[in-house]
Amino acid sequence: MLDKGQIKDWEGEPEKSDKPEATPARGGIAGAIFDSQEAYPTGERITLTPEQTTARKKRGQWIAIALFAFVILIFVLTMTKIGANVLVRDL
């Protein structure tokens, strides 16, 4: 929902919401489980700046590198643990 400060030369009152009034939240873990909120579509679109797009791309690349390194680490540890015992079998 847009507010008065977000639109240049806007005159009027803030928009009224069609959402039902929120019920008081419960505390603790019961509130975390049972008081979840649904997202209401507003039709607004977010356009990222070029800096944000570049940052998202770099972050994705670093996550991919970290995941690949983790897979390689698990493979090396597994092969080290198994070792030469792969070829030793009772026939």
Q: Residue range 19-32: average pLDDT?
A: 68
Residue position matching structure tokens 């026939």: 91
52 has a pLDDT exceeding 80:
yes
- Looking at the predicted structure, is the pLDDT value of residue 64 above 80? yes
Q: Could you tell me the pLDDT band of residue 3, with boundaries at 50, 70 and 90?
A: low
Q: What is the 3-state secondary structure of 46-75?
A: CCCCHHHHHHHHHHHHHHHHHHHHHHHHHH
- Given a cut of 90, whether residue 41 has pLDDT beyond it is no
